[in-house]
Structures are given as structure tokens and as C-alpha cells.
Structure 1
Amino acid sequence: MIDANNTSSDVNKVNKERYPLVSIVVLNYNGKHHLKTCLDSLLRTKYPNFEIILVDNGSTDGSVEFVQQNYPTVKIVRLSKNIYAAGGFMAGAIIAKGKYVALLNNDIEADENWLMPLVEILEKMPWVAAADAKYMNFYERNRFDDAAAAGRWIDYFGNNYTRGVREIDYGQYDKLTYEFGVSTIFRRDTFFKVGGFDTSFLFGYEDIDLGWRLYLIGYKVVYVPQSIIYHKGGGSSREKMGAPRAKPEFYYLIKHNRLIMLVKNYEVRNMLIALFVTTIEYILTAMYFFLTRQNVYGVQIIRALIYILKNLRKIVRKRALVQSLRVRKDRDIRRYMVPYSGDIWKFLRGIQR
């Protein structure tokens, strides 16, 4: 019981002892124009025990100086060059002191109550290793984001499925749900138990790959709709907002990371089936691009297939390490996947990407 005569500092101390420390890692690369909105919102967070760590990926726009001058309580990890999302977040997680680590991009604004529901779920559900927030569009606050939205899954062949993209939020996804992809908050010890992010995934699938490995070692990932984050969404990876697919260089990374993920995480039989189906899908998609004179995207798919063939030995070594940690069979994990949602399905629905 807190004594009514305690000073506010005494109360804050008690609150901090009651609530586990959360390290909030914000990744930044030449995003000075995003930082005020992002950091101001995080500092308003209604949770009594957190630290903020800014990982700067070699920015040249004065981002670090801006934070040093205006946000003295924010810790800064200044990297000499851009090591991309997976590497940058790993750098922040390594120095984090919290029981939990929240990983956020700089182009977000967090609701002041975003953190408490996530921590409460992780405290109540020890079998859950990570939790994801509800991601809404920064500019149209009643619509879901087009990157994370209302939870993310994959199908049996590694295709990404994001629920609720660009839908108006009527509360239709306000139920706590097990999902597959995760990007918001992790148990720090479990995060490192599975090796954290694969830093060779420069763009795309690093979060899905991590979620899969968490399931492999016996944990689950959950979507928590009471936690709300507003995201500016996809602008850096696409030619313009609302473009149907990523820029060619990012498209290539998405396609080749998906193949690596399938090799690393599946049991042998399921891996071979998934690779066969995915290769057929890739070839058909490349043919579509060539026939519609979008040659640059067809070339990226061919590059992805060639990369896997050239680097198969290295990828198989990674697979051996991942499989050595496995405690759960594929048949149990596939319960948390969705039916086919790949390029052929998107093409038939008129949303081919």
C-alpha cells in the first residue's frame, strides 16, 4: 500500500518497481522530419517505467544533433553506416536494459496508452514471446495501415497476409488473436534465445522469420488490438504512396528473403513442397511481368532464384542452427498459418503486386 504522505518521487519509484522496464528502440535513417512527432508521442506514454533508445543508421540530415539538443533523456546509438532494419534493431536490443524490448520505426505516432496493454498481456501469458499492436494509418486515423494493420500471417508457402489493410476500423478486429508476424514488443531474453533478427535480411520478412522461429521453440505471438500505433506507412520502400508494389531493389529482397525463410524454418518434406510451389509461382509471376513489359520486376524474381542457388550451402548452415532449437512440429505451427495468398491469388483478384 502506498502511503498518502509519500512524495511524488516515492510514488514513481514504487510504480517503477511494480512495472517491468521496457526499452523502446526507435530506428532512424535520415528521418529528422519524423522524429518530433515520434519522440513526443513516446514521451507521453502512460507507462511508468521505460527508456527510449534511438538507433541512428548513419544519418546525414542532422537527426542525431536534433535529438541531442531537444531530447536529452533519449539514449543514442550512432552507427557509422546504414545496416538496415534488422541490424539496427539488433544494435538497440543489445544495449537495452529492459525485460521487454519494443522496436519501432521513426515514422510512427504512438497512442499514449499503447504500451500498457502489451506489457499486461506478456506478463499474464508466459507462453507468448512477442506481441503486436494495432497499426492505423497516420493520415486517415479511422483506417488500418497498409503495412501491419490488424495482424500478420503467412500461408503455407511463405506469402505474407496482412489483415484489414486500408479497411475502416469498425472494431471488427478487436479480439486478441494469435498471429505469425511481429514487430512491436518482445521478451528480450527469448528474442536473443532464437538469435534475434537475421541481419542478412536487409528488407522484408525479418519479422515474419523471427516470429516463425519463436513458434519453433515453443512460444506464440499475439495481436493486441487495445494497443494503437499510427504509421505513415511504406513511403520509403515504394516509388510513391499507394504504389502497387515495392521499388525493384526492395522487391528483389522480399522475394529472396522469403525463399531463405522457407529453407531455414520448415521440416525437410514441407520445405521441398514449399520451395517447389514457390518456384512455380515465381516463374509465372516473372512471365506476367515480362509479358506486360514490366521487365525490371521479372528480372528481380530471376535474380532471387539465382541467389538461392548460388548461396544454398550458406543458407543450409543457417538452417541447421535454427533446426537445432526446434521443439515444435510443423503440423502444430501450420495451425497459425493461412490458406494460399500469393501472387497468383492476388492476380486473380486484381491486386497483383
Structure 2
Amino acid sequence: MQPRVAVVILNWNGKRFLEQFLPSIIQSTYKNLEIIVGDNASTDGSVEYVKTNFPQVTVLINDQNYGYAGGYNHILARVHADYFVLLNSDIEVTPNWIEPIIEQMESDELIAIAQPKLKDFNRKDYFEYAGAAGGYLDYLGYPFCRGRIFDSIEKDEGQYESSSEIFWASGAAMFIKKKYFDLVGGLDADLFAHMEEIDLCWRLKNQGFKVVYCPNSEVYHVGGGTLQAESPFKTYLNFRNNLAILCKNLPSGNVFGVLFIRFWLDLLAWFKFIAEGKLKHAISINKAHTHFLLDLKKWTRKRTKVQMPNTNGFWKSSIVWAYFAQKKKVFTDL
């Protein structure tokens, strides 16, 4: 019998995306499937729209907006399945997108998390920023992807057709075995949103589990559906959460040195925002550092117990140096 899969779309005022993309999800060919819209206290009529137009879809409602991490934790606590698929509302799927990933994950007990090939909905022959062909992390905590380094996004020309272990899977379309989600206590709600998927993958990898990329499954992501790239709040979350996940997951001997370097590199980013006239973003970096330091004891208490760490996808060099100094804009040049 096929494992039971629950595709769970966390929605917050995303009615326009549900109207556009929910029909493609309903056309998925996987048989043992439940489609769930978990609503984070929307005010745009999303819940009423889904209940009226898609009675085959289960609707679960949170009493307030708990963000991405807390929102999913509250919803998934009420879902019974072998696999969870955390899917953004702004994603178009292909009919057989589920089968290849479940088959791959079923083949290896150590595979905890997987992601499909993530491509740009607006430029369908290009990878998409949020996950491309699988996520990697450099030794200073900067995330990048096969197919996307910083803002350089590659065209999909078949260069990443091999399945491989990666370091992190995109939260835009993440498959995870329920038992492993439960094992590590789900997503860290204190992160609220952004980089919480990297933290989840890292915690599982610190226990020896695998995160993989499956090129035989393909989805198309609009991107920026909840927080636009130019949002100062997104800048705040990215800088604060990046420091937090380093504090939580790095080996004890590395934490202080890496955080020290990151503070100086973040200062360079602060000067860059000032030079570009983006004062609100510079202020966001100040807030991120202040709040990280004020909550340092909290992040330290959450440090992962490292058992048999799986470091596949962890890049021991600096992606900042490779990209900006050595001008390596493509993953295959690294």
C-alpha cells in the first residue's frame, strides 16, 4: 500500500494564489493523498473560498498568525500521515510530482527530507531562487543552491539531473517523513519565518539523517508571495535567523569564531545598505543583531545534540569569497 501523504499549504491572505494554483495540486496523480489548507488567521476570505469551491480539500484553521514555523507546527499537530509535504500557496505542480520523491524516500530509511526541482513560474526554463536544485551551506552559514548563488540564477539546461544529497531543502516544497518531523520537535517557532527549513534540515543532519534532491519531480514557484525581497522585515528575519541557526547547530568549537566573522561581514552589508540609501534595511540589521544578542541564552539552550553528523552539502569554503572575489557565479565552477 502507498504511504499516506498529506500536502499541507500554509495560507495567510493568499486567496489569489489558491485560486490560481490549488487546481493543479488537486490534479496530482498520487492516490493515497490528502490535500490540506492550513490557514494562519487570514482576513481575505481564503477559508470561505476553499470550503465553497474545493470541498475535497481539508481546511484547518489557526486562531492567529503564527508565522511559517509556528503556523505549520500548529497545523501539522492535527494531521495524520506518513509524509508531510510543506507547500507554498504560490506553487504550480505537475501531475506526477509526488510519486518520484516518495519512491526515493521509501528506498532509504535515513532519508528524512527531500525537495523537487524548483523552477521559476514566470521563467519556466530557469531555476527559482528559493531552492533551485537543492540547498547548500558554506562554513560561515551563507545558504546557496545548485542553480542559484546569491542573485545569479541559472537556466535549466539539464545540468542538475542527478539525484544527490544536499544540505537543506526549500521550505517552499519540502517533503518530510512525519516520524522525523516529530523526532526533532518540528520547526522552531521562535524563528517565525525564513531559514527555519535550513534549521530543521541541519538538526536532522546532526543526527545522521539525509536530505536529498529529486530531479524527477518538478514544480514552479512564483516567489515572494508573503514577504517581498525588498521588505525590511524580511531583511531582519534573514540576518537574525542566520545567526540563530549558527548558534544552534554549529559544533561547539566553531561557534564563537564563525559568529565573530559573521558580525563583521554583516557590518559590511550594513554599509552597503547605507550606500544604496536603504536606511530601513540597515536599521533591520541593527535590530537583528540586538535581538539575537538579547536572546543569546535562548538560542544557546536550543543547541542541537550532535550524534553522527551528516555533513554532505556543507561547503567548507566561503561562498562570499568565491562569488564576489573569484567571480564564480555558477555552482559547477565551485
TM over 0.5: yes
Q: State whether structure 2 residue 314 is matched by structure 1 residue 337.
A: yes
DSSP-derived class of the 1:135 partner: strand
> Residue 214 of structure 2 aligns with which residue?
224
Is the aligned partner of 1:114 residue 2:94? Answer: no
The match for 1:215 is 205
The alignment status of 1:123 with 2:106, answered yes or no, reads yes
Contact 2:62 2:75 in 1 (8 A): no
Alpha-carbon offset, residue 291 of structure 1: 3.7
1:164 matched to 2:164? The reply is: no
- Measured against aligned partners, the alpha-carbon deviations of 1:228-268 in whole angstroms (never above 9, x if no partner) come to 11111124322xxxxxx541111011100011101111121
Deviation readout 1:27-49 (Å, 9 max, x if unpaired): 11111111133221111111110
In structure 2, the residue matched to 1:174 is 161
The residue identity in structure 2 corresponding to 1:273 is G
* Aligned twin of 2:56: 73
Q: For the structure 1 residues 345 and 297, does the alpha-carbon distance in structure 2 shift closer, same or farther, using more than 3 Å as the test?
A: farther
Q: Which residue of 1 aligns with 2:308?
A: 328
Please list the CA deviations of residues 256-302 of structure 1 after superposition, one character each: whole Å capped at 9, or x if unmatched: 00111011111211111211111111122212323443322222222
Which stretch shows the higher mean deviation, 47-56 or 301-310? 301-310
Contact 2:135 2:313 in 1 (8 A): no
Could you say what secondary structure the match of 1:185 adopts? strand
Query: Counterpart of 1:171 in structure 2: which amino acid?
Result: G
3-state SS in 2 of match to 1:225: strand
Q: Unpaired segments of 5 or more residues in structure 1?
A: 1-17, 239-244
Moved more, 208-217 or 32-41: 32-41
- Matching residue within 235, 238, 254 for 1:251: 235
> What is the distance in 2 between the residues matched to 1:267 and 1:35?
41
Q: Which of the pair has more CA radius of gyration?
A: 1
Say whether the 8 Å CA contact 1:260–1:315 is kept in structure 2: yes
Root-mean-square deviation (Å): 1.8
The 3-state SS of whatever aligns with 1:143 is coil
Sort the Cα spacing of 1:66 and 1:316 in 2 relative to 1 into closer, same or farther, 3 A: same
Count of aligned pairs:
320
Partner of 1:99: 82
Contact 2:100-2:216 within 8 A present in 1 as well:
yes
Q: TM-score, normalised by structure 1?
A: 0.86
1:203 counterpart = 2:190? no
Alignment-derived partner of residue 32 in structure 1 = 15
User: Does the CA contact (< 8 Å) of 2:12 and 2:42 recur in 1?
Assistant: yes
Within 2, Cα distance between the matches of 1:312 and 1:53? 36
Work out the percentage of aligned pairs sharing the same amino acid: 35
Matches within 5 A, 1:148-159: 148-159=131-142
What does the per-residue CA deviation read over 1:86-118, in whole Å, with 9 as the maximum and x for residues that have no partner? 112212321221111101011111110100011
- Indicate conservation of the 8 Å contact 1:53/1:92, yes or no: no
Contact 2:133 2:213 in 1 (8 A): yes
Kindly indicate whether residue 294 of structure 2 is the aligned counterpart of residue 310 of structure 1.
Answer: yes
1:58 aligns to what? 41
- TM norm structure 2: 0.91
Distance, in Å, in 2 between the alignment partners of 1:346 and 1:203 is 26
Cα pair 2:11 2:39 within 8 Å, conserved: yes
Compute the displacement of 1:22 (Å).
0.3
Higher RCO (C-alpha under 8 Å, 6+ residues apart): 2
